[in-house]
Homo-oligomer: A and B are copies of this chain.
């Protein structure tokens, strides 16, 4: 199980080679994709097949070089984030979060990925799509709440990421906008104590998938995230939720190079 020192050195050298081999390409305007409305967010989770781990390390590293190449190449057009689910979620090993102006660009990336040597070892476990939109209910919130919502989250790394797909029931959509707005205000107030430690992002999915929303969270304090969810279960709006999770995807935020190092070992 423990690699001998010489092997470790060899791995480090090879991995460094991987990390260096692909020249940086001009990145998509990542900041814009991650902050503006009208952007499509895709959560693509994959399991590594049983053969992956049985391959020789050198072969695996060669395939990870391919992974690096595919990701870097597509980063010209789309924003790609990586997560390690293995060891924390039974719904997959790797997750890609992709932001793109057009889902066709996301499709091209994922097809290239799956058609690559590395992709031959991936089995799609789930694909979910959502759209970023301007906040729906916030404009009608009291000024104080609107101001509070702008509280920035604490600086520093937030190693854990959680994805919770949500589907509301038919009764929810049948309520008039005012009633929904009032309940969403109560919902929002319940989240205030966790604004600093739990970062959130919302995607609208109706029609793009069998969901209404994808909620995405990052935190360094999982206990706070747990308390946040508990608080949300207690507000009235929760009673109109037909599906919360199923799956809840829990993983750790990783750079492409970190993922390569983990899978190379």
Contact = CB atoms under 8 A, between A and B. Distances in A.
A226 B250 contact: no
Most B CB within 10 A of own CB, among A38, A112, A119: A112
A170 B241 CA distance: 8
Interface in A34-90: 38, 40, 49-50, 53-54, 66, 69-70, 73, 84, 86-90
Contact of A90 (B87, B124, B234): B124
A38 B238 contact: no
27 contacts: A1-B66, A50-B123, A53-B114, A53-B119, A53-B120, A86-B110, A86-B111, A87-B108, A87-B114, A88-B110, A88-B127, A103-B160, A103-B222, A104-B159, A104-B160, A107-B252, A131-B223, A131-B226, A173-B238, A174-B236, A174-B239, A206-B233, A208-B225, A208-B248, A208-B250, A210-B247, A210-B248
Interface residues of A, number: 78
Contact of A53 (B1, B115, B126): B115
